[in-house]
Amino acid sequence: MRKTTTLLTAFLLTLSVAGFAQKKSKKNTKDEQVAQSQPAKPTKKSPFKKYSEIVTDEAISDDGLFIIHKVGEKSYYEVPFDLFEKDMLLVSRISKIADGLGGGYTTAGSKSNEQVIHWSRIQNSILLRSISFDNVAADSLPIKLSVDANNYNPILASFKIEGFNSDSTAALIEVTDLFLSDIPALSGLSSSMRREYQVRNLDKERSFITRMASYPENIEVRHDMTYNATSPPSNSSSGTISMEMSQSMYLLPEKPMQARLYDQRVGWFTVRQIDYGSEALKSDQKTYIRRWRLEPKDPEAYARGELVEPVKPIVYYLDPATPTKWRKYFRQGIEDWQVAFEAAGFKNAIIAKDAPTKEEDPDWSAEDARYSTVRYVATTTRNAMGPSVSDPRSGEIIESDIVWFHNHLRSYRNRYMLETGAANPSARTLNTQDEEIGEMMRRVISHEIGHALGLPHNMKASAAYPTDSLRSASFTQKWGLATTIMDYTRYNYVAQPGDEGVRWVRMLGPYDNYAINWGYRYIPNADSPEAEKPILNSWISEKAGDPMYLFGRGNSFDPSDQTESVGDDPVKASTYGLANLKIVAPNLAKWTATSGEGYDDLEELYGELIGVWNRFANHVITNIGGVYQELKTTDQSGYVYTPIAKSEQVKAMKFLNEHVFTTPDWLLQKEILNNIGASGAVAGIGSMQSRLLSSVLRMDRLERLIENEALNGPSVYTMTQMLVDLRKGIWSELSGSQNIDTFRRNLQRAHVERLASLMTQDERSRSDVSAAVRAELKTIQTSARSASTRYSAGIVQNHLRDIDALVDSILDTE
């Protein structure tokens, strides 16, 4: 029965299908007849061009991360589909700069922006999107949805797809306008520069792409940008600012390096993220150090404590433009860091090489992201830089280009003479011997390499050494001038004539070994940043309390954390430094004289001499209202902030009254002043003394003195005592009938004007500062009024009467 039913069903189904086929056949025949009687509809034209229509025979192409093409005035990228949504880093730099742009703080090579980007497709367009890792959460966590929704990434540019490559694995887009439009994310002009220079617009007709190159891991583009500006920083009559920009696009590693958590007690450059996936009851900021990826070739030997080579060493290539006689010093400056990496368990971790010649490797380029370089730049800039490019996901340093500007030789030659010439005969010339200049260059390169390894400045390092130890040959030759090359302890200005065999120039020290070990030592069994933290903390705890291993972030209130200082006692160091300058000053004309030449070098060196003295004085000023800062965690004993002892502050004020606010006769060298200008010495010295006085009377310094007294009682050095000590020093002539010379009169007027400024600053809060300053002004007025009667008619009497009237006007206005 079941079999019969099945056969019947199959038969009926066959009939049904056949009937449908006959109906469809008839319908098709009818449709075909109609179609033949009507004109054919045009086929829809493809929105894409053929590859050969775009990349013509005249194209100049380069294969690498992307294939790029230059076709006439148009530039194209072939964006591979397999690189869509891949993390890439776009770094914008100013490669050539207008004179004066940024007020001297922006130089050729300065980075203007750094951002992760993604390429992606939407319909017939390719998008270039800026990706942020500031706010993160693990993909597996529900909160990741909220992080993405509340951190929507901006689109920098959109490109129409022009066509596809032959196997349809890449989209062809024109990128000309990306580099010839005023896109803020790619521009070298900040919003503040645009306001200052009154920039109106980018002139596209005077902007153009100068170079494009593609390498295996990066693409490099150079493009000129010309802006119309009402007040350009230079060449004002042109109404124009021109600059060359460099855009570097790097492919980031598929798997980010394991990050290492930052600890503020050891100095490192960092990247930051807010981790919303953290268990902390807050938006948890995670800060990671910036470092190269160093992994041991032989992990087992490394674990046994043997020195092991890294899988991928850090290699720096010397620019072929580097003068031959300086190359060995550059190589030494780079490889000096090998000792520090040995402290971290790696040998041959950092290597210097000459760049290959065209014959050796025709494809080698300093712009290839696989190669880090030390570049020698022929400009008048007096500087050196140690920038690097890092992965914001993990802090991994991808590549680095150290820059040495040729004219930096001039800076070191001058400072060498001024700061060591009194005790160092070989520094008493404008033609410093190559070996000595080479040693200085070596140490500058080491310093910049330190930055490129991830280390910031550590200005606290110089305070670890007793000041008098810097006069010892055995001490300085072993330990250098500071515990790290990352301090600005450039020269030994403490050593005195007769201190034979001392070291004059800085070098690497024990802190460098400590910091590199802390940041680079491979920790085998720690598979996350959090797992490493207890070990890293134990390394810091081992060194706790030892000044050799302290880090300072640099501030204006800690005398042990100052730029350009040496030794642990600023007053003693500046006393030694002043004694040396008093030897240099009367010899400066002789040491800078060149037969047949004018006095330009003398004028330059004299100006820098005043600058050196200004720094020495400021080192002492920091003691007043000073507070020592020692970075700590909550599990450590002691305080982070400790006010400086009263005795040290009194000593500092005594130094200032005796050496800074008195007339500096030693600077008034007629052989100098009568050869470098018709006038200006009085105004120049007056301006310096006025600035130093204003520094002593800074509002934040007075506030620290007030707070110290409030917390610790009147036995400390108080604001009132400081103001009285300062007044007695500046107005000491009023106690008798001593002459008040031009320099002192200028200083006294500056003192009254600065006190008046403090009253204005304190007008709103009306704190103890106003009361103390009013009392000081009244005392000065009374003393000046009384003293004016003891002087005969003349400039001094006029000065004192003017002070009397000036105070009246200040207090009446107030």
As a whole number, mean pLDDT of residues 795-801 equals: 96
Q: How far apart are alpha carbons 630 and 209 in whole angstroms?
A: 51
Q: How far apart are alpha carbons 5 and 416 in whole angstroms?
A: 112
As a whole number, mean pLDDT of residues 284-305 equals: 93
In the prediction, which pLDDT does 3 show? Answer: 40
In the prediction, which pLDDT does 29 show? Answer: 46
Its pTM stands at 0.87
- Above 60 in pLDDT, residue 265? yes
Do residues 390 and 283 touch, judged by C-beta distance below 8 A? no
Q: How far apart are alpha carbons 212 and 314 in whole angstroms?
A: 27
Q: How far apart are alpha carbons 338 and 335 in whole angstroms?
A: 5
Q: Which of 237-251, 513-527, 734-748 has the highest mean pLDDT?
A: 513-527
Residue type, 355: A
In the prediction, which pLDDT does 41 show? Answer: 54
Going by DSSP bridges, is the β-strand pair 384-385/314-318 parallel, antiparallel, or unpaired?
unpaired
As a whole number, mean pLDDT of residues 116-136 equals: 87
- Out of 139-143, 289-293, 539-543, pick the least confident: 139-143
- Above 60 in pLDDT, residue 617? yes
As a whole number, mean pLDDT of residues 548-555 equals: 92
Average confidence score pLDDT of the chain: 89
User: Which residue in this structure is represented by tokens 């800085």?
Assistant: 506
Q: How far apart are alpha carbons 464 and 731 in whole angstroms?
A: 37
pLDDT in tens, 671-683: 999 999 988 889 9
Confidence of residue 422 (pLDDT cuts 50, 70, 90): very high
- Above 80 in pLDDT, residue 327? yes
pLDDT in tens, 683-721: 999 999 999 999 999 999 999 999 999 999 999 999 999
- Above 80 in pLDDT, residue 9? no
Do residues 561 and 459 touch, judged by C-beta distance below 8 A? yes
As a whole number, mean pLDDT of residues 139-164 equals: 77
- Above 60 in pLDDT, residue 455? yes
- Above 60 in pLDDT, residue 429? yes
As a whole number, mean pLDDT of residues 612-625 equals: 97
- Above 70 in pLDDT, residue 40? no
Residue boundaries of the structural domains of the chain: 51-251, 299-568, 656-813
User: Which residue in this structure is represented by tokens 């007695």?
Assistant: 728
What are the φ/ψ torsions at residue 226 (nearest 5 degrees)? -120, 125
In the prediction, which pLDDT does 591 show? Answer: 97
> Using H for helix, E for strand and C for coil, what is the string for 8-77?
HHHHHHHHHHHHHHHHHHHHHHHHHHHHHHCCCCCCCCCCCCCHHHHCCCCCEEECCCCEEEEECCEEEE
Residue type, 157: A
pLDDT in tens, 192-234: 999 999 999 999 999 999 999 999 999 999 999 999 999 998 8
As a whole number, mean pLDDT of residues 494-506 equals: 97
- Above 70 in pLDDT, residue 139? no
